[in-house]
Structure formats: C-alpha cells, structure tokens
Amino acid sequence: MSGAICLATLAALRCGAGRTTVAARSHTRQIVQTTTPCAMTMPLEEVSQGYLADSSAKILLGKYSPGTVLGIGPGLGRESSQDRMVVELFKSWPGTAVFDADALNAISESTFGWSSTATPCGSRILTPHPGEWARLSNIQADEPEEQQRAAVELANKSQSIIVLKGHQTLVTDGQRQYRNSTGNPSLAVGGSGDVLTGMIVALVCQGLTSYDASVLAVYLHGLAGDIAHRQLGTPSTLGTDLIDALPAAFRQYRAAHS
C-alpha cells in the first residue's frame, strides 16, 4: 500500500517535519521518489516477496539521532519478520515513535505485553481506530465508552499517548484527556489516518511534547477536513485533499490564537 506511505510522508513535509526520509522496500522507494520528490529514501533489508527483514530494525536504530522521530505502520502490511521488526522498534527506539495501522496489529499479536509496564525508551504514540483498538484492548468497537475508558487506563499504565480515532477523537496520556471538536464524515476516507500519522510526526519534530503534538495534529487534521469538506463535500474528499487543505488550516488556527 505505497499510497499510504506517500500520504503520511506528504503530510509530514507539509506540517514542517523538515528532512524526511522514507525507509522502505525497493519498489516502494521508487514510487516515493516519483510522487514525493521532497522526501529522501533509505533502503531496508528484504526477505521473500519484498517484505522487510527483522534485521531492518537494527538499521533503523543505527540511524537514530536526537530529534529524529519515527513513524511506522502506514502501508506496512503483515508478515512475521516485519512484525518482529515493529516489536523491536517499539521496545528499543530511543526517541519518540508513532505507531499506526499494521504496526498496531503487530503489537497487538506480540507477547511482550506493551501495556504491562512503562515503555523503556522514548515516548510512544499509538493511533488506533476502533477496530485496531479492539485488538489491542480486547474491547469491541461497538462499546465506545468502554474503549475510551480502556484507552485512558492503558495510556497511564504504559506511559504512552493513545489517539483513539473516530467521532470526537480522544487523545490521552492517562492523566489528561482531549476530545476533538473538528472534523466531519469526510475524514472516514481512505488515507485519512495516514495523513494524521505524518502530521503528528512533524509536530513532534518541531519541539512539541508527544501529547501536545497529538492534540494539535488531531485538531488541525479535523480542521483541514472541514475546509476540504466545504469545498468538495462528501463523497468527493480524498486523502490528498486533506493535505492540500493543511496550509489553510494552519492559517485559520494561527489567526484564532494570535
């Protein structure tokens, strides 16, 4: 799902991430280089059928430097070696890391117990939709209030940030809770979550705390959705339209808070 990777990358660039590198399999890197020329790419080791080897975790860890933020999950897919890579990065990445999509599914099926103790390294931001959160929390998507309670509890227990996406997206660190006021049904479009992942990465890169970056990204993401929806309506809004609306969302936010 190379499109998801491109959307997350474009959103990160549009929100001021600065130097942005896509670490991926060779085929994906070719697509990114064609569609997203402002990003750099980095090769990772592959196994059969182009999936990433678990040794890729060591390559990524070797590229860490202070201020580097990891975003993983959009377009990743599922395979045992990739799942092991995700778990190793979750446990060992020294800085802030955002886990989305299939990275969350890999964590949910692992045995290391992400929620049992505080993360040993840097801050972890998890951005599940209700279906992904059902796999992580064992509480079904048709129990939204129970899911939200579990998000607060597990965020506190694991000392992580949980962004439970949906109507009035919940952001919590276990102590604080933010329920978003922006957005509309157009945000249900495919790729919307990938855009949010890139936005959170970028705002952490600019020096915001993991919690503040998550709150602001969720707000601006919904605001961009509102702007795009007014211009295009449902079902015409695409994930790329959210990215195109980000400059206007930033301007509107700054004008309201100046």
Quick: pLDDT tens for 121-160. Answer: 789 999 999 999 999 999 999 999 999 999 999 999 999 9
Look up the domain containing 29 and give its range. 2-256
pLDDT at 123: 94
Tell me what pLDDT residue 215 has.
98
Q: What is the pLDDT of residue 83?
A: 96
CA distance 110 to 248: 41
Query: What pLDDT does residue 6 have?
Result: 96
What is the rounded CA–CA span in Å between residue 47 and residue 218? 35
Q: How far apart are CA 215 and CA 248, in angstroms?
A: 18
- Average pLDDT score over the chain: 94
pLDDT attached to residue 120: 62
For position 117, what pLDDT does the model report? 61
**What residues in the chain have per-residue pLDDT under 50?**
none
> For the chain, what is the domain count?
1
Q: Is the peptide bond before 235 cis (omega within 30 degrees of 0)?
A: yes
- The domain that holds 195 is classified in CATH as 3.40.1190.20
Under a CB-based contact definition with an 8 Å cutoff, are residues 169 and 179 in contact? yes
Residue (of 234, 218, 129, 144) closest to 182 by Cα position: 218
pTM: 0.97
Q: What is the pLDDT of residue 121?
A: 74
What gap in Å lies between CA 39 and CA 13, rounded to an integer?
8
